[in-house]
Each structure stands twice: as C-alpha cells, then as structure tokens.
Copies of this chain bind each other. A is one copy, B any other.
Amino acid sequence: MSEIRKDYVTDTWVVISEERARRPKDYIRTHLKLQNGTCVFCEGNEKQTPPEIYAFRSAGSMPDSPGWWIRTVPNKFPALRIEGKQERVTSSVFSSMNGIGCHEVIVESPAHDKPIALLPAIQVREVIEMYKFRLADLSNDRRFKYIIIFENHGAEAGASLEHPHSQVIATPIIPVHVASELRGADNFFTDMGGECIFDNIISEELKAGKRVVFQNSSFVCITPFASKYPYEMMILPRRHMPNFTDISESEVNDLAEMLRKCFNSLYTLLDDPPYNFYIHTAPVNGRDYLFYHWHLEITPRVSRLAGFERGTGFYINTLSPETAAQMLAGEQSESRQSTVENHVATAGTNLRLPEET
C-alpha cells in the first residue's frame, strides 16, 4: 500500500509508492554527453568568459589570467540583467516587469572533471566561502528581493557545460517555492508561540532516526519525510540561522565535510548521477525573517517527472526516504568505496591549493 505524505512546511503532498521495489541500477543512468572542445572554465581560457567579478587567486596573479582556484564570472547568456530600474506594468490579466536581476557563474575549481564529490575538503570550503561572499555582496543591491545559489550537475540536470560550476541568480521577486516555505514557517512560528519549524524537524528526525543520513557537530542531513524525488537530501544547520550569510567559520568547515560526504555517497551509490542542489535562505532587502532557517537541498535526477506531476504539483516517488537514507548512509561495498577514495586522493594533484587570503 502506498502512502501520501505532507511536506513538513508547505501544503504539498507526495505519494510514496514502492510497489515496484527498485535497486539503484533500475534508476535512470544515462550520461548524456555535453559539448566537447575547448572548455571556457578551464585554466588558461579566462579570456573566453566575460571579465571576472571576483576570484580567489594566488598573490600577484592578474584578473582573467591563470593563478585562481575559484572564479566568479557573469553568465554569458544571463536570464536576468543587472542594468536598469525595476518597473512593473499591469493591464487587465497581464502583469509583467522588466528582467532586472543578475546571473553569475562560480567555477568551483580549475579541474575540469572534479565535482564536489571528488574535491579535497579545503577546496569545498573555499567554494562555500565564495557563496557567502557573493550572497553578502549582491544583497547590497536594493532592487533584489531574493538570491539563489544552485548547481546543475550533468546534462540531464540541465547543465550545458561539464566543468563543475555553481550559479547565482538574484531576482526582483520572492519566488513561489520560497514564498510557500516562508508562509508555512511563519504560520508555525505564530501557532507555536515563537518556535522554528526547522528546529522541530531536526529534533523530530533525530528522534525518529530512520531518515538521518549523516550528522556532524553543526549539520544534519536527512532524506525528507515527504521526499519528492528518489535519494533527495536536505542539509540543515543545527543552529537557528535565517540567512546563509550568518554561517561561521567552523560551520563552513562542517558544511564542506557534509557536502563531500553527501556527494561522495551519491557518486558511489548511483555512479555519478545527474543532480541539482540549491540553498534556500531568507529573502533580502525586506522584513526580517526570524522564523526562517536556511538549508540546502540536493535532488538527484534519476527519475522523470510526468504529466501527473506537471499537472498537479503532486509528486509520486517510487523510493521511500527511509530506504534511501539507509542506502546513502552506508552499506556501500568496499571496492566501490575505495575507487572513490582513490579519485578523491588524486583530485588534489590537479588543483592549486588555496592560499590563505
């Protein structure tokens, strides 16, 4: 018998239906090929991107030249542009505004073929520091209401370039999924006399135990109770923080460790599957969102959404989060694990190690 579960925070329901028990190999594993040829994100090709916004680079090296270990550049084909004044037009059933915002790309390392699963911890920490820096910087622009950081890994997940990179988009509105989480968290806060729903999720999930994938001193990773997708994960900071930019140095270290573990686990279990991840943090330039609690969501792309999901927003997930948590947390065969560790061990040799800045 399948079960219908409600998202912790929003009014979204999910069908958990394991009628056909599937093993990891039954999920989609197409590795669609991305374009070949010169990679514009590789070291030495810096002139092929728009001029860099910011880079972590070795002392004395020049912008838009080699010597960097993380590099942020404007997206060459931005969805939203930074120039102009925000204007809104409404006429009968038509409402629109001009496309003000910004769209940046964060190249995660000079290595063309090393996703987060295979990067050394020190490099992942620097990626997180860059996220924090870009969020803080962009939130100074009063026209922006929301800033999202996300990654597309693999063609099936919408990536158009293979070289691992994250993206930052600032928007002049609060997007619908975020608005829906804010509404749910606000209602809970009011109903419970000032409690954070995410704090409750953490304590209840730790108590239940069966959906906890990993934990360290600052973070907990769970497969959400109403997971929409097989192997979906949610990383929550233990400390209540509305904004990602509130993250401390030791939390950056712990998040780097957590991300490597999560992506390493996916890499091993599902043979480097396509995935998306994104950070949900409080909106900027508006009111305070004290009831909110930032978190990071990882959604592998191993199943296809169909007309039912498109038409209803009601998802059918063929893998229970309990099974997923167990698989992600361990029981990986020795041999496969050691393969990944070899990759990880050699990954650093292709990288310039970051210097203290």
Stretch at the interface among A6-14, A61-69, A108-116: A6-14
Given the known inter-chain contacts A15-B99, A78-B19, A99-B4, please indicate yes or no for A150 contacting B93, CB distance below 8 A.
no
Given the known inter-chain contacts A2-B79, A4-B96, A98-B3, please indicate yes or no for A148 contacting B308, CB distance below 8 A.
yes
Point out the residues of chain B lying under 8 angstroms from A8, CB to CB.
Answer: 93-94
Which residue from B84, B92, B307 sits with its C-beta under 8 Å from A158? B307
Point out the residues of chain B lying under 8 angstroms from A162, CB to CB.
Answer: none
A86 CB to nearest B CB, Å: 10
A44 CB–B CB distance under 8 Å: no
Point out the residues of chain B lying under 8 angstroms from A179, CB to CB.
Answer: 11
Contact with B along A80-93 (1 / 0, CB 8 A): 11001000000011
A225 CB–B CB distance under 8 Å: yes
A51 CB–B CB distance under 8 Å: no
The oligomer's copy count stands at: 2
Whether the Cβ atoms of A94 and B278 lie closer than 8 Å is no
Point out the residues of chain B lying under 8 angstroms from A287, CB to CB.
Answer: none
A204 CB–B CB distance under 8 Å: yes
Point out the residues of chain B lying under 8 angstroms from A180, CB to CB.
Answer: 313
Given the known inter-chain contacts A1-B98, A6-B95, A278-B307, please indicate yes or no for A312 contacting B11, CB distance below 8 A.
no
A168 CB to nearest B CB, Å: 10
Point out the residues of chain B lying under 8 angstroms from A4, CB to CB.
Answer: 80, 96-99, 171-173
Stretch at the interface among A245-253, A297-305, A333-341: A297-305
Whether the Cβ atoms of A173 and B225 lie closer than 8 Å is no
Count residues of chain A with CB under 8 A from any CB of chain B: 77
Whether the Cβ atoms of B306 and A157 lie closer than 8 Å is yes
Whether the Cβ atoms of A159 and B306 lie closer than 8 Å is yes
A23 CB–B CB distance under 8 Å: no
A277 CB–B CB distance under 8 Å: yes
CB closest chain-B residue, reference A99? B2
- Please report the C-alpha to C-alpha distance between residue A311 and residue B278 in the assembled complex, in whole angstroms: 6
- Please report the C-alpha to C-alpha distance between residue A173 and residue B4 in the assembled complex, in whole angstroms: 10
Point out the residues of chain B lying under 8 angstroms from A167, CB to CB.
Answer: 307-308
A215 CB–B CB distance under 8 Å: no
CB closest chain-B residue, reference A90? B6
- Which residues of A200-251 have CB atoms within 8 Å of chain B's CB atoms? 200-201, 204, 208, 225
- Please report the C-alpha to C-alpha distance between residue A246 and residue B194 in the assembled complex, in whole angstroms: 48
| Besides A2-B79, A16-B99, 13 other A-B contacts (C-beta < 8 A) | A1-B98, A4-B171, A4-B173, A17-B79, A17-B80, A20-B77, A92-B204, A94-B204, A148-B308, A152-B306, A158-B304, A176-B313, A178-B313
Interface residues of A (CB under 8 A from B): 1-6, 8, 10-13, 15-17, 19-20, 30, 32, 77-81, 84, 92-99, 146, 148, 150-152, 155-159, 167, 169, 171-173, 175-180, 197, 200-201, 204, 208, 225, 276-280, 297, 299, 304-308, 310-314, 316
23 contacts between A and B (CB under 8 A): A1-B98, A3-B98, A3-B99, A4-B99, A5-B94, A10-B176, A16-B99, A17-B79, A20-B77, A79-B308, A93-B225, A94-B208, A94-B225, A148-B311, A150-B310, A152-B306, A157-B307, A158-B304, A158-B307, A175-B312, A175-B313, A276-B307, A276-B311
